[in-house]
Homo-oligomer: A and B are copies of this chain.
């Protein structure tokens, strides 16, 4: 039965079902009793912890500190910034009461109508409002700036259609909120954090990304400019992996946060915010995994190496274990996380499938013949190739191999992304090409209404205006007007 439980729908058969199967069967997450809210299971959470740790280090290296702001936001705060309320007030969890009481009819507990809040509280969908209301008390002079805060927190958006990690009512994320004395410094911060996200994605997640700016249609509610990184999934759909917003003085004006500048004049504070969420887990899974299960980049794998003994009797197991001990010790000393699975209630074949499903990058199997020959069988999860190697020097070999695997996974994803990125010059071709998936790179000079029309007709949106523009001119693929602006269109998650 265990075997059948592990079987995944194949990607070719049904990509969406493959994803859901994989998330559940690899013990990453599952749906909970609360609509749209997931349970992140220990194996999934271990990956998220690695993501958190690396990102947190990168934030601290760039001068940021962590803090914590309230979960609940007074309803009126959301209305202060006109665009923000349009974007976030609509689908959110509203706390209206602060007490339950025993049901007079004996049917459990009911809301106590006497305990109605004067002003309703919203479970934070994002924290700009409560944070800028707080910053008002922290900022008086340019000497108080910059403020470079980040928070790791849970947020809620009442999504109607949810998918594990990709779109859930509650999700975990980090949100950076910074305050600056000048526009230039704030823009520089927003771009800096975009680069941190891009570096993290490529270096640790092995997911190549395109850096860009959102069009007005796709901009964060309340931002002047939204920078983003866009990744390409194996099914040809794009996924927004992180955003960094230059907020101008919008929130400072909404919450009246002014400071005395160096010229001794009152000025509104400049702001950024930036965030990535457990959605990254979805990107990680969909970018690399295959029909056998997860493929994890070694940098984020909770278990990097698994060693499985193959034996007929206790004596053989003891002999294998004796050989394995120094390898375990050596790998651990190198900072490599390794598991020796000598559990005797599971067959080696079952273990092989299990660790493939879980995406463990390197598997060693060692049997009686290996003992005689002083060898070990090594399998790479990314290529599923096996080779027999001498035990001598195996730890060093693994250390090098993990780097190679990390690099190979990245290159494979990049090659795929590049192979599905095409230049398209006119809308007829666009409509044909978009059916094949991938990124379509186009010159663009259309209006927000044009974007809406294209979305309606093709389900594709501008994922980003490319941050690194060529200095060439072309013709807008829709209007034919001459323009230098290059954008990427795609269907997306």
Contacts and interface: CB of A to CB of B under 8 A. Distances in A.
Interface stretch (A62-70, A196-204, A210-218, A326-334): A62-70
7 contacts: A41-B67, A42-B66, A71-B123, A75-B109, A90-B99, A94-B96, A95-B95
Interface residues of A, number: 63
Contacts of A38: 70
Interface in A36-56: 37-42, 45-46, 48-49
A238 interface: no
B96 A96 contact: yes
Interface in A161-181: 170, 172
A319 interface: no
Contact of A32 (B30, B32, B70): B70
A479 interface: no
A330 B75 CA distance: 52
A470 interface: no
Contacts of A32: 69-70, 130, 134
Contact of A75 (B48, B67, B96, B100): B100
A398 interface: no
A418 interface: no
Contacts of A42: 65-67, 149
A104 interface: no
Given A34-B72, A170-B70, A109 B39 contact: no
B34 A70 contact: yes
Contacts of A67: 39-42, 45
Interface of A: 30, 32-34, 37-42, 45-46, 48-49, 65-79, 85, 89-101, 108-109, 111, 120-123, 130, 133-134, 137, 143, 149, 153-154, 156, 158, 170, 172, 345
A81 to B, nearest CB: 12
A311 to B, nearest CB: 21
A121 B158 contact: no
Contacts of A143: 345
Contacts of A95: 93-96, 123
A78 B99 CA distance: 13
A59 to B, nearest CB: 12
Q: How many copies of this chain does one complex carry?
A: 2
Contact of A94 (B69, B111, B170): B111
B39 A70 contact: yes
A137 to B, nearest CB: 7
A34 B123 contact: no
A89 B101 CA distance: 8
A68 B90 contact: no
B133 A111 contact: no
Contacts of A92: 98-100
B37 A65 contact: no
A320 B172 CA distance: 46
A315 B37 CA distance: 61
Contact of A69 (B39, B49, B79, B121): B39
A170 B98 CA distance: 13
B98 A93 contact: yes
A94 B111 CA distance: 8
Given A33-B74, A93-B97, A94-B96, 12 more contacts: A32-B69, A34-B72, A37-B71, A40-B67, A42-B66, A42-B149, A45-B67, A71-B170, A75-B108, A90-B100, A92-B99, A123-B123
Contact of A34 (B39, B46, B68, B73): B73
Most buried by B among A79, A98, A158: A98
A175 to B, nearest CB: 14
A65 B156 CA distance: 25
B108 A76 contact: yes
Contacts of A41: 67
A382 B283 CA distance: 50
A219 to B, nearest CB: 21
B71 A121 contact: no
A251 to B, nearest CB: 14
A489 B155 CA distance: 42
B109 A79 contact: yes
A56 to B, nearest CB: 9
A108 B81 CA distance: 10
Given A78-B109, A95-B95, A109-B85, A70 B37 contact: yes
A94 B97 contact: yes
Nearest to A97: B94
